[in-house]
Amino acid sequence: MAAIFRAWVAGDPTMIPRGVPLRIAGDVHGDAKALAAAAETDRFLIQLGDLVDDGPDTPGALAVMFRLIDEKRGMFILGNHDYKLARALRGEHVRSLPTARTMAELPASLRERALAEISTAPGWEAEVGEAGGRFFVHGGFHPGMLEEPPQSMQPGRPGPLLARALYGQTTGRVTGSGKPERLIRWVDDIPSGFTVYCGHDQRSSDGRPYVRHGRQGGTAVFLDTGAGKGGHLSWVDIDPL
């Protein structure tokens, strides 16, 4: 694992500025006011995907994120809802009522920028040191992500690593609510010394981020606490490695 750490540091693939304090924010889902509140910081903000759909103001949420990008004060990880919106903006048929509502709400002035930013957003990012590090992804982690540069949107269906990043660990079955069944066994694959910050699944039972420790000594922090869906936006502040 140390060799992988050195490869990442030598290649410096990350979009995260070095040596700066970070604010990590969970799924926004169109809650522009909450994202604007999170953006009131001197820290570099990393939003973990699903900026769009469901909530009251997806155009406003995108505008806040674009301002952060322009000011070099933030970035977002590609989420599955962002991915669907980009496909729709490309003219593809997307079977999603939330995405259809977003398309109806999105003004022409934002569409080109939204497609450009979502199309180039990384599927994962990391800060890696000799003893471990932090990993940022929307849906789920896979050890192969430590050996590959972050992937962005690709033509056709996403490959295995990007699919894990977008959708988490799926079984191919659906739950009683009609949603894909998802597992978090991937937490056991997080290396010792590593913390994975992710969104996608609202696993909190008390309104706070849900923390789970894996068998190899790694940790996952689930930051989706229901913003845009009747809950609220959560974030955590972390210091530089």
- In this prediction, residue 25 carries a pLDDT of 98
Q: Which helix (H) or strand (E) holds 128?
A: strand 124-129
State how far the Cα of 209 lies from the Cα of 220, in Å rounded to an integer: 10
Superfamily designation of domain 2-10+22-232: Metallo-dependent phosphatases (3.60.21.10)
Predicted confidence at residue 9, as pLDDT, reads 44
Q: What is the pLDDT of residue 130?
A: 73
Q: What pLDDT shows up at residue 107? A: 95
Cβ-contact 148, 161 below 8 angstroms: yes
What is d(CA 74, CA 21) in angstroms, rounded to the nearest whole number? 12
Backbone angles phi, psi at 237, to 5 degrees: -105, 130
Whether 123 contacts 150, CB under 8 Å = yes
| β-pair partners for 145 | none
CB 73 within 8 A of CB 50: no
**Cα(46)–Cα(2) distance, integer angstroms:** 25
Q: 160: alpha, beta or left, given left = phi > 0 and alpha = psi -120 to 50?
A: alpha
Query: pLDDT per position in the chain (241 positions), as tens?
Result: 444 444 444 445 568 888 899 999 999 999 999 999 999 999 999 999 999 999 999 999 999 999 999 999 999 999 999 999 999 999 999 988 999 999 999 999 999 999 999 999 999 999 887 777 899 999 999 999 988 889 999 888 899 999 999 999 887 777 766 677 788 899 999 999 999 999 998 888 888 999 999 999 999 999 999 999 999 999 999 998 8
Q: How far apart are CA 124 and CA 13, in angstroms?
A: 11
Structural domain spans, the chain: 2-10+22-232
pTM of the predicted model as reported, rounded to 2 decimal places:
0.91
pLDDT at 176: 66
**Cα 119 to Cα 144: distance, rounded to the nearest angstrom:** 22
Report pLDDT for 177.
Answer: 67
